[in-house]
Amino acid sequence: MAALSSSRTSFFFSTASPHPKPRRISKVVRMAYQENGPSLAVVGVTGAVGQEFLSVLSDRDFPYRSIKMLASKRSAGKSVRFHGEEHIVEELTADSFDGVDIALFSAGGSISKHFGPLAVEKGTIVVDNSSAFRMDENVPLVIPEVNPEAMKGIKVGKGKGALIANPNCSTIICLMAVTPLHRHAKVLRMVVSTYQAASGAGAAAMEELVQQTREVLEGKPPTCNIFRDQYAFNLFSHNASVLSNGYNEEEMKLVKETRKIWSDANVKVTATCIRVPVMRAHAESVNLQFENPLDENAAREILKNAPGVVIIDDRAANQFPTPLKVSNKDDIAVGRIRQDVSLDGNKGLDIFICGDQIRKGAALNAVQIAELLL
């Protein structure tokens, strides 16, 4: 599990803010605590996404009657704040899920593979942020704005455990903007190039980017513990393993998850995933080829009405989405919406999408899934 982001880092870069806004504490405590609410568990609570789970649960007044803070043995005994109260982190064990209705997992694939099924056996509904079960045909892969029907029938209170997978951050951010267009004109082919933030590799990667940047500015050799390549003032191909077809795992997630979420085995997707020295929001340059004509004004109108999407597309002022504009925001931002000059008949569009990787790319999407369980 990634270490908890230092408060110093949080302050400078608006990383996960683990504390609810003080002015809301009393109100939130009253609204979110409910005797008949579900019992919750957060697995990997000390990581960047784990901390954001707490922040989002709090911001959205998610109802709960109890909450367990779970992490590795190393983090057990630490204290985390939630709704203005201190909670002691417990070590994750096979017994952790007794009586837990909903568990939000973000502790890496191997933890999910081991403890996810154990939790389901105990009747817990697991919302898993790892890649462990995403392509399992028995596990729904859900973006609530896109395919809530995939988890139909899975509800708290039925006494039945279940697994639901949170898609990869790049997929969520991309499909939030592309799906409304797809529904209108049917995407035949999508070419994606990503500009991915440090946060996708955890809080330790964010801290290393800060440390390296300081070192480079001071003329010192940069410390490279998390990534092989220098990250400060540089960029590099995503650190995920490269498969035999030459794509890395991150890229193939975009290819495969899109097919599953859209229930469309024929949609053609290619992707190039790159890490850039940005803290917590991803950007994606997306080229779309449609079956039916779609002009850019129609596209803009569709996106204007898309839930969870805002348009930033001021050509005169040269103002478009940036990672900083969406950091700590729920909504995905879309801009640079334009007819692709390389495709005839209004059958192509280029768009540029930004989204907070920790929030909608991970924690928010998982909490939205959990809301559908109630």
From the candidates 83, 174, 282, 354, give the one annotated as an active-site residue: 282
The CB-of-158 to its own copies minimum distance in angstroms stands at 40
Residue number, 164 or 201, with CB nearest to its own copies: 201
Q: How far is the CB of 62 from its own copies (least distance, A)?
A: 30
Nearer to its own copies, 120 or 191 (CB): 191
354 assigned to active site:
no
Phi then psi for 79, rounded to 5 degrees? -115, 140
Strand order in the sheet with 236-237: 236-237, 268-275, 187-196, 281-290, 348-356, 332-339, 309-311
The residue among 115 and 247 lying less far from its own copies, judged by its C-beta, is: 247
Q: Which is nearer to its own copies, 94 or 224 (CB)?
A: 224
| Catalytic (active site) residue 282 | yes
List C-alpha distances in Å: 328 to 14, 129, 281, 360: 7, 18, 9, 9
* Residue number with CB closer to its own copies (25 or 135): 135
Rounded Cα distance between 338 and 365, Å, is 28
Q: Token digits for 102?
A: 């909903």
Query: Cα separation of 45 and 52, whole Å?
Result: 9
CA angle 369, 372, 374 (to 5 degrees): 125
Nearest distance in Å: CB 199, its own copies: 12
Catalytic residue among 83, 169, 182, 354: 169
- Please state the closest distance from residue 310 (CB atom) to its own copies, in A: 16
Nearest by Cα to 232 from 252, 242, 218, 248: 218
Question: Which residues, including other chains, have CB under 8 Å from residue 288's CB and lie 6 or more apart?
Answer: 178, 181, 187, 189, 190, 340, 348, 349, 350, 351
Least distance from C-beta 233 to its own copies, angstroms? Answer: 5
* Contacting residues toward its own copies, per CB under 8 A: 11-13, 189-191, 193, 195, 209-210, 213-214, 216-217, 219, 228-230, 233-237, 239, 241-242, 245-248, 255, 268-270, 272, 274, 276-279, 283, 285, 287, 296, 315-320, 322-324, 335-343, 348, 350, 352
Catalytic residue annotation: 169, 282
